[in-house]
Amino acid sequence: MTEPSINKEPSDMIKPFSMKGFKFVGIRAGIKKNGHKDLGLILCEKTATAAAVFTRNRVMAAPVILGKETIKKGECRAVLVNSGNANCFTGSQGLLDARETANMVAQAFDISQELVMVSSTGVIGAPLPMDRFKTGIPLLKEKINIGRAEDFAQAILTTDTCQKIVRLTGSIDTPEGVKEFSIMGVAKGSGMIRPDMATMLAYVLTDADIAAPDLHHALAGANEKSFNRISVDGDTSTNDTLLCLASGESSACIRDDADLKVFRNLLETVCFRLGKMIVKDGEGATKVIQITVRGAKTQADAFKASEAIAHSNLVKTAIYGEDPNWGRITAAAGRSGAFVDPDKMDLYFEATPLVLGGCWLGLEAEKKAAQLMKASEINITLDLNLGDKTDRFLFCDFSENYVKINADYRS
């Protein structure tokens, strides 16, 4: 991961949020029952370079099916996002409705329908309330010049309790001098988070000038190190979309290997911070945990062990109860499919060892670990002592509120 310590907090975010070459708007269209904002739009002032990755869930929402088709050209002018309805498991009509909403945006803003991406998030199985789009999209056009990124960020939320926006600035050295560029990310996600590509919905924007193949390569790499390393509840959404748009409005042209490295590093940091925000806002979550598995024989082993621990409900509930139940952690690693030797395992809570060489260090060590678990952010390290490979996941605990939120979700 770009930022291996979960204790780092963004200190350089800029408010109000903006990005050269893009306009934002978010409104109440009446899609949600609670009357909150539920329809948002990102408008690119000119055609932007685009790249995206989507869910690997075979039950794909209509906007994901359409998005895979739309993104092939590597260009985009507008992104329409609704919350409150996933437009998933809605058959051929759902795909027709997704295309029609894209067509509505194209007509309203006088752009090609082929350059309009659409996303949906919310309840699965219900048809899109198309009348809400027919009245909502003209309102988006009316407010596009006075809208804010924060309005868009609010409009895409479901069970989230807060907006998730990050904006960072980087620079590259050129023969003409130092050239600055910025990357901003807006995301939503709180539950149904076991990304098998990305998070539920995330939109990353930059004013850098970068070619589509380079943008796609950078986005795929950033996704693998951030959104593909987080878990709230172990569920992969049907609507996962991670979209990146580059307006090219800054003077920074990302072309050579050195420039690409700078761009990739900043992109990874933005995605990592968004991923952490999602975990921190996990449904019913009270703690954020980073599990690091080191000393693995292979990279695959490090991934398998850390993933299994992050997805373990027994580990999550133990952490909620502030119980350093090391047996659950080591057992999860043991069933992960990774090669492990229980007699060589070391386990640490922060820098405090609880198990060394496969042996529990006793009640005093456990009391120290339990005290550390009272923090809202916790680092746990499992050293397999079998090699030099490392991987890590961010995840949250499970509380009673997770059950309540999801039991009442459709009520």
- E strands, 247-345, in order: 253-254, 288-296
Give the integer Cα–Cα distance in Å for 163 and 149: 10
Residue 162 and residue 243: Cα distance in Å, rounded? Answer: 20
Are 42 and 24 in contact by the 8 Å Cβ rule? The answer is yes
List % helix, strand, coil for the chain (3-state, nearest 5): 35, 30, 35
Q: String of b and e for 349-362 (b: at least 16 CB within 10 Å)?
A: beeebbbbeeeebe
Kindly write down the DSSP assignment for every residue of 53-71, as one continuous string.
Answer: EE---SS--HHHHHHHHHG
Query: Is 199 considered catalytic here?
Result: yes
Residue of 49, 159, 199, 330 marked catalytic: 199
Q: Which two tokens stand for residue 285?
A: 């979550």
Q: Which residues pair with 26 in a beta bridge?
A: 40
Query: For residues 354 and 337, what is the distance between their CA atoms, to the nearest angstrom?
Result: 23
* C-alpha to C-alpha distance for 263 and 80, rounded to whole angstroms: 26
Could you tell me whether strands 352-356 and 230-231 are parallel, antiparallel, or unpaired per DSSP bridges? unpaired
CA 32/CA 203 separation, integer angstroms? 21
317 CB burial (10 A radius; 0-12, 13-18, 19+):
middle
Burial 41-66 (b: 16+ CB within 10 A, else e): bbbbeebbbbbbbbbebeebbbbbbb
Instruction: Report yes or no: 24 and 151 within 8 Å, Cβ to Cβ.
Output: yes
Question: Of 54, 118, 108, which Cα lies nearest the Cα of 82?
Answer: 118
The residues, any chain, with a CB within 8 Å of residue 207's CB and separated by 6 or more, are 19, 20, 21, 181, 182, 246, 247, 248, 249, 250, 252
Strand partners, 378: 289
Q: Which residues have a catalytic role annotated?
A: 199
